[in-house]
Amino acid sequence: MSPIDSILGIPGLVVQEVKRAKDIHVWAGPRKRPACVHCASNRVRVKATYQRTLKHTRQGNKLVMLHLRVPKYHCTECNRYFRHRFAGILPRLRSTETYRLEVFEAHEGGVSQRKLTHTHRVGSATVERWYQSFIKRRVSELSGRSCPQVLGIDEHFFTRKRGYATTLVDLKNHKVFDVVLGRSEASLRSYLKRLPGKENVRVIVMDLSETYRRIAQQYFPNAVIVADRFHVVRLVNQHFLKLWQQYDPEGRKNRGLLSLMRRHHWKLTAMQKENLHRYLAQEPVLRALYFAKQQLNGFLVMKSLKRKRAQKMMPQFLALIEQFEQSSARALAQTLRSWLEPIVRMWRFTKSNGITEGFHTKMEMLSRRAYGFRNFENYRMRVLAQCGWNGVINRV
């Protein structure tokens, strides 16, 4: 094959003529006569020939117009007719798959539809249609995937009319596995029943949601539940701030003290610790609650512990929960008791739902960029296209 024949990137073609003007016009035809597509016989003859004009890539700032000679064959063996088939050129289209993919990748990379109408000479509606077709092709490939081993589950807001949606994230590969409308067991039941590979899930990371815990126990029998570290620490801080409101409502309004109370004690500077201790010296009960809260957060932020070290720390952690049960923070202690196993598993597990929360930020930006979504399937397709794969489609 000569270089001028291979520059098109379409196998089985022979370039007959090339003219350069405003565009690059290439006349080409098939290299050899194929076998019958019906009976695989080589006894075929050319019945007729027709021309197809297609857009095919861009060379510099010029568009390559491919004038293709397409024979129509007649098989003398089975007496049936068929047209010549070319790789990367679909029937009844006026552009090659390479050109459509080029437009898709440019639009995916941020080039606007208005700009593509000038550079590639296609309408904005055509750009959107091609973009949707490639996205649907990739999403259809993703729909048959099996569940990942490490799964993150969390909810996010969709619309006021449709409510919330549930996000399933592959925490090992940092990809969105799927997005399902609803956050209750009743709304997710039909989806979870037909979900393939539920037995492959080994770890599920979630916030302290009773609904998601029941769903995990019912539909993922081989998975263990791990609490999300951020949500557990936030729960502890919220309970402490409520108790602070009860003991000193005026001090609770001080924004400087509020900032110091929320932060971990070991991250404060010497001057900040001095100011905080000066205030806590006036409230002995609040001082005891504060240092107990800091000790509890010290347990919660630990991760990647060995089994033996986790077993040694378990009695100290349980004793601290008993202290909370005997104080005014009994509600917090009851929650920690009910979620004791998922919280303790955080010591051994390093992943968290921070990956899921990051994807929620991207989903919000997608929704803002589209000025909101009314159709959930369009929203799901766009989320999987942007967050569920690497954005590369294999060429035909």
Residue 38 Ramachandran class (φ > 0 left, ψ -120 to 50 alpha, else beta): alpha
Q: Does domain 150-227+352-387 sit in CATH 3.30.420.10?
A: yes
Pairing of strands 203-206, 224-227: parallel
Task: Give me the tens of pLDDT residue by residue for the chain, a chain 396 residues long.
Answer: 455 556 678 888 888 889 988 889 999 999 889 999 999 999 999 999 999 999 998 888 889 999 999 999 999 999 999 999 988 899 889 999 999 999 988 888 888 889 999 989 899 999 989 988 888 887 777 777 788 999 999 999 999 999 999 999 999 989 999 999 999 999 999 999 988 889 999 999 999 999 999 999 999 989 999 999 999 999 999 999 999 999 888 888 899 999 999 899 999 999 999 999 999 998 888 999 999 999 999 999 998 889 899 999 999 999 999 999 988 889 999 999 999 999 999 999 888 899 999 999 999 998 988 888 889 988 998 888 888 765 444 543
Q: Check residue 395 and give its pLDDT.
A: 44
| Cut 0.85: pTM above it | no
Residue 194 burial by Cβ neighbours in a 10 Å radius (0-12, 13-18, 19+):
exposed
Q: What is the pLDDT of residues 146-200, one digit of tens each?
A: 889 999 999 999 999 999 999 999 999 899 999 999 999 999 999 999 888 899 9
* Run of H or E including 166: strand 163-170
d(CA 359, CA 144): 21
- Structure-block tokens of residue 116: 């593509």
Q: Residues 209, 156, 136, CA angle at the centre, nearest 5°? A: 125
Q: Check residue 345 and give its pLDDT.
A: 92
Q: What is the dihedral of CA 185, 167, 237, 266, to 10 degrees?
A: 140
Q: Check residue 4 and give its pLDDT.
A: 53
Q: Check residue 87 and give its pLDDT.
A: 87
